[in-house]
Amino acid sequence: GAGQDVGRSCILVSIAGKNVMLDCGMHMGYNDDRRFPDFSYITQNGRLTDFLDCVIISHFHLDHCGALPYFSEMVGYDGPIYMTHPTKAICPILLEDYRKITVDKKGETNFFTSQMIKDCMKKVVAVHLHQTVQVDEELEIKAYYAGHVLGAAMFQIKVGCESVVYTGDYNMTPDRHLGAAWLDKCRPDLLITESTYATTIRDSKRCRERDFLKKVHETVERGGKVLIPVFALGRAQELCILLETFWERMNLKAPIYFSTGLTEKANHYYKLFITWTNQKIRKTFVQRNMFEFKHIKAFDRAFADNPGPMVVFATPGMLHAGQSLQIFRKWAGNEKNMVIMPGYCVQGTVGHKILSGQRKLEMEGRQILEVKMQVEYMSFSAHADAKGIMQLIRQAEPRNVLLVHGEAKKMEFLKQKIEQEFHVSCFMPANGETTTILTNPCIPVDISLGLLKRETAIGAAPDAKRPRLMHGTLLMKDNSFRLVSPEQALKELGLAEHQLRFTCRVHIQDPRKEHETVLRVYNHLKGVLKDYSVQHLPDGSITVESILIQATAHSEDQGTKVLLVSWTYQDEELGSYLTSLLKKGLPQSTP
């Protein structure tokens, strides 16, 4: 069909024992069960409310929230649902709109009701940007600005020191009425990003806009009428600002209309949530509200019959019903007129048909409508492409990246690109597939003051910039970890400390007196063990570090001296070395 396939976004994340559902979208291309996500993946038997800790909705597009009432009221979920304020305000309107069309126009029965939408929204908790929300004692979430549409957000989900960031749909380039997505250097363990448009290299926005304006201008110049079917919220505002600016610059007189009803509400919401628009709009808001247009007026049904050129924005966007379809029928027969489709059209709608090239349409009552007006398609969708995805990864510095996409796509190149440039692992699971990411959680351990003091007293002064190796005993009790000195640990555990001491006998042939032998040994060791502290004590014994060497005469053989080498367990290595050294005998020449 024309344009990208609109999927049903729904992702389940398990993090540190918590289960979070990200988005709950509907697939607009199907009319049966395939339009909703398969919730049996979550849990076969248990109740969803028990299993899920929360549900997060990124924005109001139906492929991200369309299945929410079905999920919460028909499948059954009573836990919290989080979304931003604009999303909470606008979601129910779009859901109701779609419900009306599906049930009333198409006559479907197994669909959620208006009451269900209301009940579902009662479970929603609205959040502000950059506000840390405690879902429970351990789980917290935070929303970030995503651009794309009014109220769209990216969410960070954090439990302890593990975190995941889910982007939803986002846009890295600002447009005329929305800013660009932004993430701080939150370094999540995993970044989940939409990659449906990752293989697209967009042509320049300027070119696209210029082409659009050229088409509108040409049509209007020759006295034709331009119909632009739009969804109430979304690109319509962008195109309005674009046309308004162009009309002002070119001093054009032809009228531009915005059809009433849903669209008035739309402008109302933009004014209400002005902080969600971009900086330029907010700055100029005081002088002139960007959404109060000078050249764009409210439409009246009767105007469609007025002679002369005009531009009309009318809902709904796919020409499947309502005002836009009415106007289309009136204007289709005149080749001077033009219809510009600014978005994707679901199969079966008039919009889809004319985009596929059909020029004879069957309307109700078997009437054939001949389409002589020009049909154009200009997609102004605001999604991140490959460049945008790389930019976001650069900003957030995740340890792993997961690419989510509608249909099974070959994304090996992007995966390699991400892995090479950022040295992170990149995953691209298919529907129903589970991906496991290993994290390195940081475990905080308290170190006892006594141990700290003792360890720092050994060796050089502590340097804040250098890691320092310390020895202690790790005590794990309940949920706390402590590092204490071994003595302390033994004391706490009520265990006695035992010292292990080894003693070894080395026989040396030396007929001289004991104290002379000792002197010989001392000088020998001092000469060999230059880096060690070798001392000759007044009581006749020698110490090498903490190892003790004493000499006694052999009981039976005066010519043999017995050296007793004694060390503690800790000095095992040095002790063994000394012993083998002494066993080699003393050098002949004694200094």
Partner 1 sequence: VCVAGYGQSDGNEILQLIPPPTLLTKETQGLCPERDFKVECGGFSERPVYSLKYVPDTSLLVTSGPPDSSLQVWQVSAEDSDVIKSVSTIATENGTGQSWAKIDTISARAPWVLHGSRLDRVQITEVESRKNVYTAGIQGNEELSSLAFLDCSLLLLCSATGRLCLADTRQPQGLTEAVPAPSVPSSEHWCMGTQHAAQGSQPGSQPVARLSSRGLLALTDLRKTSEFLAVAKARVPSPGSGAEFLCVSWAPALEGYLAISGFDGTVHVYDTQSWDSSGREAEPIFVHKGHIFGGAGGSRDPPLVTVHTWHLQKPRTLLSAASDGSLHVWDWVQPCGKC
Q: Which of 340, 343, 425 is nearest to 381 (CA)?
A: 343
**Which CB, 190 or 355, lies closer to partner 1?**
355
Binding segment for partner 1 among 237-245, 329-337, 375-383, 573-581 (CB under 8 A)? Answer: 375-383
194 catalytic per annotation: yes
172 vs 451, beta carbon nearer partner 1: 172
Q: How far is the CB of 377 from partner 1 (least distance, A)?
A: 5
Number of other residues whose CB lies within 10 A of the CB of residue 28:
23
Euclidean distance between CA atoms 497 and 487, whole angstroms = 7
364 is a contact residue toward partner 1 (CB under 8 A): no
Q: What is the DSSP letter of 129?
A: B
Distance CA 313, CA 456 (A): 74
* Contact stretch for partner 1 (CB under 8 A) within 259-267, 378-386, 422-430, 434-442: 378-386
Q: Spell out the residues 6+ positions from residue 363 whose beta carbon is closer than 8 angstroms to its own.
A: 329, 369
- Positive or negative, the CA dihedral 54, 58, 64, 65 is positive
Tell me which amino acid residue 84 is. Answer: T
Closer residue to partner 1 (CB): 263 or 349: 349
- Binding to partner 1 (CB under 8 A) within 551-570 occurs at none
Q: At 109, is the secondary structure helix, strand, or coil?
A: coil
> What is the C-alpha to C-alpha distance for residues 382 and 150, in angstroms, rounded to an integer?
12
**Residues between 226 and 285 that touch partner 1 (CB under 8 A):** none
- Shortest gap between Cβ of 315 and partner 1 (angstroms)? 21
The verdict on 335 binding partner 1 (CB under 8 A) reads no
For partner 1, give the closer residue by CB, 37 or 229: 229
How far from chain centre, in Å, is Cα 501?
A: 58
> Binding residues for partner 1, how many (CB under 8 A)?
30
Structure token pair of residue 243: 């046309």
Question: CB-wise, 200 or 473, nearer to partner 1?
Answer: 200
**Cβ(566)–Cβ(502) below 8 Å:** yes
What is the amino acid identity at position 26?
M
Decide the pairing of beta strands 18-22 and 11-15.
antiparallel
- Quick one: which of 123, 417, 536, 554 contacts partner 1 (CB under 8 A)? 417
Verify binding: residue 347, partner 1, rule CB under 8 A.
no
Least Å from the CB of residue 387 to partner 1: 10
242, 244, 227: which is closest to 323 by C-alpha? 227
Q: Least CB distance from residue 381 to partner 1, whole Å?
A: 10
Exactly one of 281, 404, 411, 525 binds partner 1 (CB under 8 A); that residue is: 411
Sequence-distant (≥ 6) Cβ neighbours of residue 382 within 8 angstroms: 147, 148, 149, 171, 173, 175, 178, 235, 238
User: Is residue 302 at the binding interface for partner 1, with CB under 8 A as the rule?
Assistant: no
Q: Does 436 bind partner 1 (CB under 8 A)?
A: no
Single out the residue of 14, 115, 275, 416 in contact with partner 1 (rule: CB under 8 A).
416
51 binds partner 1 (CB under 8 A): no
CA distances from 310 to 253, 257, 263, 402 (A): 9, 8, 18, 47
CB of 72 to partner 1, least distance (A): 35
Q: Least CB distance from residue 320 to partner 1, whole Å? A: 17
Chosen residue from 30, 41, 413, 569 binding partner 1 by CB under 8 A: 413
Q: What is the smallest separation between the CB atom of 287 and partner 1, expressed in angstroms?
A: 26
Q: Binding marks (x or -) toward partner 1, 174..203, rule CB under 8 A?
A: -------------------------xxxxx
Q: What are residue 563's DSSP bridge partners? A: 506, 551
Of 284 and 356, the one with the shorter C-beta distance to partner 1 is: 356
Give the C-alpha distances (Å, rounded to integers) separating 552 from 39, 540, 565, 579.
85, 10, 11, 16
Contact call for residue 211 and partner 1 (CB under 8 A): yes
350 binds partner 1 (CB under 8 A): no
Tokens for 512, please give them.
């001289």
The answer to the question of residue 386 lying near partner 1 (CB under 8 A) is yes
Among 85, 208, 295, 372, binds partner 1 (CB under 8 A): 208
Output the CA angle 516-518-523, nearest 5 degrees: 95
* Candidate list 73, 162, 194, 376, residue with the active-site label: 194
Q: Is 382 in the site for partner 1 (CB under 8 A)?
A: no
Helices marked H in 276-341 — which ranges? Answer: 279-284, 322-331
Please state, in angstroms and rounded to a whole number, the distance separating the CA atoms of residues 560 and 506: 10
Residues at the site binding partner 1, with contacts judged by CB under 8 A: 2-3, 199-204, 207-208, 211, 354-357, 375-379, 386, 410-414, 416-417, 420-421
Which residues are part of the catalytic machinery?
194
